[in-house]
Amino acid sequence: MAAYRSPSAVETSTESTSPASAPDAKSLADAVERLSAEFQPELPAWLVLSTLRRCRRELDIISGPALPELVERLGRQRLSDIVIARRGTAPRRTRGSRQSLARTRATAA
């Protein structure tokens, strides 16, 4: 397993390898720090950084420069998907799912 890298090490690597401007690198480093803290028990900081960089590239292609809020939101969703896949648990069903509809019908009968 890869060693944990502190957010300060992540911030340094973000600034040195990213072609983005300084404010973009700072906002990405801030998002990496927040999401690393949120997912730290299960996901290493390098995976958070890698995921956010990929999200920023994908969003840049679609609409020009990506908004930092969208990069963080997409990154959070992708990281949540990784955690769910690693745990081997399915995501919770929505209210309108077939299972909840069947439970509602069974309760009403």
pLDDT tens sequence across 59-104: 888 666 778 889 999 999 999 999 999 988 655 544 444 554 455 4
In a domain, 76, yes or no: yes
pTM listed for this prediction: 0.57
In a domain, 67, yes or no: yes
Domain that holds residue 64: 7-108
In a domain, 1, yes or no: no
Share of the chain above pLDDT 70, in %: 57
> How many domains, in total, are found in the chain?
1
In a domain, 2, yes or no: no
Q: At what angle do helices 7-17 and 45-63 cross, to 10 degrees?
A: 40
In whole angstroms, give the CA distance from residue 66 to residue 80.
21
pLDDT of residue 23: 62
Average pLDDT over residues 43-47: 94
